[in-house]
Structure 1
Amino acid sequence: MRRISIIGLGRSGEAAALLAKNDGFSVLVSDSSNGDDVRRRAEDLSRQGIFVELGEHSKKILDAEIIVVSPGVPLDIEILKEAEKSKIPVISEIEFAYRHEQGKVIAITGSNGKSTTATLVARIFESAGYTTFLAGNIGNPYSSSVMKTSPSSITVLELSSFQLEAMDSFHPYVAAILNLSPDHLDRYSSPDDYFAAKFHIFDNQSADDYAVLWADQKELKSLSERIFAQTIFFSSSSEVKYGADVRNNTIYRSGEEILNVEKLGIPGPHNLNNALAAVAMTIPFDVSAKILGRTLREFKGIEHRLERFFEHRGIVFVNDSKATNPDSLKYALLSFERPIVLIAGGYDKGADFSGLRDIFSKRVKAAVFTGDTGERMAAQLCDVVDFCAVIWEFEKGVRRAVSLAAEGDVLLLSPGCASFDQFKNFEHRGRFFKEIVQKIIAERDSDKTAKIPATRGN
């Protein structure tokens, strides 16, 4: 029997294991951890005849004709070095799933806006009548949906830089890089290495395919000279002949009027770029301007991305837990005219926050920094805001921020960092934040002597 080893037992590793079993492989899954979620998945797989080892990566992994790595697994761990010496192919979960794909793939990457744009693109194609699957870094493993694809279906993939490593035949019909800024410097030795991982999205494209790029970023515009696919640009600052742009405050698709910018369902300048990218990705397909405009108007965004989930005594509470790098935090701050009480910080990926000083001084009334990056963010940013606190524990930080917010403020969770110092993932962090806010407000409302301040102040 053919043998396959899968390293990493998160959602994508579990889905890849089940797909491999369906293919008739003898499957080994290995994870170096043994937490509750991993043990639960291991028990589920074991009941289906899949062998799982936890707490180590043993030599058994090498008894395979192919090794599939989950996106969170670095490619330089010792067992993969041994696999390379033994000439055992190592591929990503995305590559493994793609080998089963029957339809067309739209692949989307970038440093910011991936989830919002991918969800919007999927919504557009669903509205246009296409059988559509949304998968990848969005939280739905590609391996879980790929067997449902058909020659007429479209799969929209959100892809991280990690997922674009260890590719071989992955070949999207439409591939897009939304934007680039330094990120994941805890994994990559330099921003250029991180950017190079993103560029893999175009590796196997031909002249029959399409590459969608942001014309307003010179690094991406110049990239068009190095790829073989037909190039489609999007821009919010200049007209493009073939792509999506803004003219007289109206979105256009290759000269065709789509929608007035004021009618977009998602706010903020960054979301205008996300919408333009989505519009550009429809050019190779049959999607009418009417359907496109209606979907752009009706789409209200996604959970954990500038999610206005609560309003109380004139304070708007916003969950932006998906903001995991400095640029995404900057875009969040640019989205509000009200004074902002900010909760930021989290797992340290080695990012530099000093570039946020100007926007902090203009938009942030008070900042509470939490988690592993709290002290470092405070050192770079505290002197440009009226009030600043460093509180490692997330719940205590939220409570402090709520005590600082007054009528007319926005209380914004936009960490600018990953979540792994105190949470399983950004979804866990965002939902915990919403629960804690509701709990704090309920406590305050039950105690008539404790009130959220009615006027601004420290």
Structure 2
Amino acid sequence: MKQIKDFENKAVLVLGLAKSGMAAARLLKKLGANVTVNDAKDLAGTEEEKALRKEGITLVSGGHPASLLDEADYVVKNPGIPYHNPLVSEAVNRNLPVVTEIELASLVCEGDIVSISGSNGKTTTTTLLYEMLKGNENKKPWIAGNIGTVACEVAQEVKAQDIMVTEVSSFQLKGTKDFHPHVAVLLNIFDAHLDYHGDRLDYEQSKGKMFSNMTSEDVIIYNSDDPVVETLAKHSKAQLVPFSASSKQSEGAYVENGWITFKEESILSLKEASLPGAHNVENMLAAVAAAKILGGSTTQIIDVLKTFNGVKHRLQFVGNLNGRKIYNDSKATNILATQKALSSFTQPVVLLAGGLDRGNSFDDLIPYLAKVKGVVTYGETKGKIAEAAYEADVSNIEKQNTLEEAVKTAYKLTEEGDVLLLSPACASWDQFKTFEERGETFIKAVQHLQ
């Protein structure tokens, strides 16, 4: 770990505890900062408070008093806390630096950072690349970031010759200033998280911050089929390596005659690749390009492409139940993700969808429901998604209050040879804390059908 002096004897306020807040607070303490953690939830008397106190870190919980900013030199905020939060807004008004823990990770990481972002496909691509880089004794890969392992925690272990493969969200990137990946991958951009960002421009600019500090020594791997992604990439000083599922890219990754190809080198026939769906072709191309640039073994790359079974909660194959194939796509928290999931199957599909109502319509889902056998909706958006299914002339439409009830109803609509797919097209927060919790609830409900 780099022993930086940036935070020595500085007063740093960490907003939001959770995993990232705890990790950031502990790292800042190691770096010589005077750390105060603030959380809206009352944590008095909890194990977290006891642990922080023992480590010499102050915890203020149960609210966000503005007085906490009076002595602060820096603010490190949980990525999920929006900028319209009164304490964050006030910090910005006072010109205090407001960053996320990914910024801390980049400052202390000795090895090369690979950052992967996009509206969809981040987790799959990050995991694919991490697996492809394994086996190189001279360059150990580490996996971190929005995928579930806090980056500033992992970064402390990364050696100078190692590679930290990091999934980064727009929430994290918006709070960066000096974040500098050696290789950056941008998969796609479409309307997402606008309730957080306020408008599409802020969302795009947040994604683009991934490239801000890159130089001609660095590499950007970008989706040339997405004009917004291409524009953001070309504003950078870094070397550009495109990937495309629809056209030949001699300087990057593409599909030619049904083969995944990198710079004229045929890697693997798509028929042999394990991941289903057109969207996964893009994810595989991006991962292959990054792995080749980082010195990954072609043998290892091919083996991963043949055997990778997907990421948990992202088109995860749960099993075969009485001739029905069951898939858990709980990570589909927006319409595009569900569109891509539905496009992955040629079999009849019974879809379970629903969740947090962010105020959007589901009209963009209608063309993708045309071949769907049945739709069962639940949660806050059950009425809106059901209306889209009616517009698409889906023959079997049911509404339920909970996911567990929806699973029972959906199974009754299936027959042998069908696919039962959870792909909610919504965030999970109306009934669940996380999409992971929603996915686990789905799996348990399926198990109870047996």
Contact 1:354/1:381 (<8 A) preserved? no
Indicate how the Cα distance of structure 1 residues 62 and 346 shifts in structure 2: closer, same or farther if over 3 A, else same: farther
Residue aligning to 1:313: 322
User: In structure 2, which of residues 2, 9, 19 is the aligned counterpart of residue 11 of structure 1?
Assistant: 19
Residue aligning to 1:45: 52
TM superposition shift of 1:383 = 3.2
Contact 2:211/2:233 (<8 A) preserved? no
Letter in 1 for 2:75: I
TM superposition shift of 1:114 = 0.3
Question: How far apart, in 1, do the equivalents of 2:70 and 2:315 lie?
Answer: 44
Residue aligning to 1:54: 61
Letter in 1 for 2:401: W
Please give the per-residue CA displacement for 1:261-287, whole angstroms capped at 9, x wherever unaligned.
111121111111100000111243222
Question: How far apart, in 2, do the equivalents of 1:44 and 1:381 lie?
Answer: 50
SS in 1 for 2:134: helix
The answer to whether residue 114 in structure 2 is matched with residue 106 in structure 1 is yes
Indicate how the Cα distance of structure 1 residues 43 and 318 shifts in structure 2: closer, same or farther if over 3 A, else same: farther
Question: How far apart, in 2, do the equivalents of 1:60 and 1:143 lie?
Answer: 24
Indicate how the Cα distance of structure 1 residues 347 and 47 shifts in structure 2: closer, same or farther if over 3 A, else same: farther
TM-score of the pair, normalised by structure 1: 0.92
The answer to whether residue 129 in structure 2 is matched with residue 121 in structure 1 is yes
SS in 1 for 2:369: helix
Residue aligning to 2:10: 2
Contact 1:183/1:351 (<8 A) preserved? no
Residue aligning to 2:289: 280
Indicate how the Cα distance of structure 1 residues 378 and 42 shifts in structure 2: closer, same or farther if over 3 A, else same: farther
Supply the RMSD in Å over aligned alpha carbons: 1.8
Residue aligning to 1:401: 410
SS in 2 for 1:282: helix
Indicate how the Cα distance of structure 1 residues 53 and 382 shifts in structure 2: closer, same or farther if over 3 A, else same: farther
- Counterparts of residues 188-203 of structure 1 (less than 5 Å): 188-203=197-212
Question: How many residues align structurally?
Answer: 439
Please give the per-residue CA displacement for 1:83-142, whole angstroms capped at 9, x wherever unaligned.
234332211111122111111011010011000000111111123342111111101111
Residue aligning to 1:451: none
Residue aligning to 2:36: 28
| Structure 1 stretches of at least 4 aligned residues deviating more than 6 Å after TM superposition | none
Deviates more, 1:234-243 or 1:289-298: 289-298
Indicate how the Cα distance of structure 1 residues 96 and 106 shifts in structure 2: closer, same or farther if over 3 A, else same: same
Question: How far apart, in 2, do the equivalents of 1:135 and 1:286 lie?
Answer: 20
Residue aligning to 2:258: 249
- Counterparts of residues 124-135 of structure 1 (less than 5 Å): 124-129=132-137, 130-135=139-144
User: In structure 2, which of residues 168, 172, 177 is the aligned counterpart of residue 168 of structure 1?
Assistant: 177
TM-score of the pair, normalised by structure 2: 0.93
Residue aligning to 2:400: 391
Indicate how the Cα distance of structure 1 residues 132 and 349 shifts in structure 2: closer, same or farther if over 3 A, else same: farther
- Counterparts of residues 358-437 of structure 1 (less than 5 Å): 358-362=367-371, 364-384=372-392, 385-437=394-446
Q: Which runs of 5+ in 1 are unaligned?
A: 442-458
Q: Which runs of 5+ in 2 are unaligned?
A: 1-8
SS in 2 for 1:175: strand
Deviates more, 1:291-300 or 1:322-331: 291-300
Question: How far apart, in 1, do the equivalents of 2:195 and 2:357 lie?
Answer: 8
Letter in 2 for 1:76: H
TM superposition shift of 1:210 = 0.8
Question: How far apart, in 1, do the equivalents of 2:208 and 2:401 lie?
Answer: 36
Indicate how the Cα distance of structure 1 residues 422 and 40 shifts in structure 2: closer, same or farther if over 3 A, else same: farther
SS in 1 for 2:17: coil
SS in 2 for 1:240: coil
Question: How far apart, in 2, do the equivalents of 1:181 and 1:192 lie?
Answer: 11
